[in-house]
Structure 1
């Protein structure tokens, strides 16, 4: 017997941890793919400069975090059934 508030908090934390794991795995895959591409470029053009699109990567990460938090809050609110605050 969990209370409704405990169920909402559990759903919220599960969403946060799942999203954080997805961001970490996605970042690792992106980093590895970028490293592989860099190795291929350096093999053909050794003096090629190394640049990172930090603004784009930061924007994508921020957008993912916003969507993650919105989904977590919406999911917890849906479990509540639309009723007012406790």
Structure 2
């Protein structure tokens, strides 16, 4: 199972907004902390917004994985209920 284009777009929008940058500036593999000067509080805010938006639960332990846009896609995908 993969994320839909709509889901990917929404995640992109959420993160760009949290980082206070334009969506065009947010590249899939650039790292939030190193490339955008994000801090751990911002990561928690992003996690909470993703949970609320997608009605999923993401363990706080996943914050360590949420280092780039691509990584967040994977975390959200993993958090979604799997349909048999």
- Fold conserved between structures, TM > 0.5: no
Report which of the two structures shows the higher radius of gyration computed on alpha carbons.
1
Question: Higher relative contact order by CA 8 Å / sep ≥ 6: 1 or 2?
Answer: 1
Give TM-score scaled by structure 1 length. 0.30
